[in-house]
Amino acid sequence: MTFATLAILVVLTRNSLVNGEWGNEEREGKNPFEKGVGFDLEIKNEEFAYQVRANFSAKISKDFYCESFVELCSSAYNHFPQ
């Protein structure tokens, strides 16, 4: 998992590593993070996978919706303008 900060972009990228192969990156939807607003980040280490979640509701793509958690699959990039 990677978190990076760049001065220009506001991007949230999601992806999954399944059976040793990376899927397609998903970048659709609004970035639910806001500069200066805190959030809880939960990282769960399961026997065969890990889950990364941030505790807020957001629709981040047409096929991906969680009422109480946005699940960030394997990779997330959170960029804010300075």
Structure tokens at 35: 């500069």
Question: Do the beta carbons of residue 12 and residue 77 sit within 8 Å?
Answer: yes
DSSP state of 26: B
Q: Which residues pair with 26 in a beta bridge?
A: 14
Question: Do the beta carbons of residue 74 and residue 18 sit within 8 Å?
Answer: no
- pLDDT tens profile 19-50: 888 888 887 777 777 778 787 777 778 777 67
7 confidence band (pLDDT: 50, 70, 90): very low
Identify the top-confidence range among 4-18, 31-45, 46-60.
31-45
Q: Is the pTM of this model over 0.85?
A: no
Which of 71, 46, 40, 48 shows the shortest CA–CA distance to 58?
71
